[in-house]
A and B are shown apart, each in its own frame.
Chain A
Amino acid sequence: AQSVSQHNHHVILSEAASLELGCNYSYGGTVNLFWYVQYPGQHLQLLLKYFSGDPLVKGIKGFEAEFIKSKFSFNLRKPSVQWSDTAEYFCAVNSNSGYALNFGKGTSLLVTP
């Protein structure tokens, strides 16, 4: 069955610390990969996406993610987090033959001053 796993459900970091959030998926065939963010009181926003080409993709607000096909992973990274990065982060996957996004359970990030 197709699935998306996010390893960390709750992460607490101090400002300026580095961030890496794990995402693994179980899908057959070609996949499209996304990271969405939900800031407190706001709607889901796209951080970055990967469809093809360079497996290292850069998104908004200094975030980046690396697609490692052999590991079925798409981990999100940021070298130095800010208090404003406090939010819920969701990894999502769909296939080229499908349209529905399959989301992970999310990771709640709290950045302390």
Chain B
Amino acid sequence: DAGVTQSPTHLIKTRGQQVTLRCSPISGHKSVSWYQQVLGQGPQFIFQYYEKEERGRGNFPDRFSARQFPNYSSELNVNALLLGDSALYLCASSLAPEGVGETQYFGPGTRLLVL
């Protein structure tokens, strides 16, 4: 079975630009979460979507937005890029967002470099 897929794998942008990252969850998974992993740190939660609705948001500015499509794939958008947005962006999928025992499965990530 295919795991979580993300595109693109790498991206270089300049300050002030906008970027869109894409994620396809594992087949049958309806929940998608986004995380930002800065070099030397653990992943930090950005968003979770379930059934196309935002279920949770981490401590990130409004420049970050996301959406989930009817096929449960998701996009993360970041506007007005800053140097500090350079990071590995991870997508994780799970069957559902809540419930004891729910495990999130991670994709390979998109590495974003902002110059």
B78 to chain A, nearest CB (A): 18
With A46-B105, A98-B56, A99-B33 already in contact, the answer to whether A104 and B42 are too (CB < 8 A) is yes
Question: Size of chain B's interface in residues, with CB distance under 8 A?
Answer: 29
Task: Give the contacting residue for B56; candidates A32, A42, A45, A99; CB below 8 A.
Answer: A99
Question: Do residues A52 and B109 form an inter-chain contact, with CB atoms below 8 A?
Answer: no
B100 touches A105 (CB 8 A): no
Check A49–B103 contact: CB distance below 8 A: yes
Tally of contact residues, A, Cβ under 8 A = 24
The number of inter-chain residue pairs (CB within 8 angstroms) is: 62
Interface of chain B, main secondary structure:
loop
B91 and chain A: residue at smallest CB distance: A43
Q: In the assembled complex, how far is the CB of residue A51 from the closest CB belonging to chain B, in whole angstroms?
A: 5
Spot the interface stretch: B14-22, B43-51, B68-76, B79-87: B43-51
Residues of B contacting A96 with CB < 8 Å? 98, 100
Task: List 15 A–B pairs whose Cβ atoms lie within 8 Å, in order of A's numbering.
Answer: A4-B42, A32-B100, A36-B106, A43-B3, A43-B4, A43-B90, A43-B107, A44-B106, A45-B106, A46-B105, A52-B100, A90-B42, A96-B98, A100-B56, A101-B35
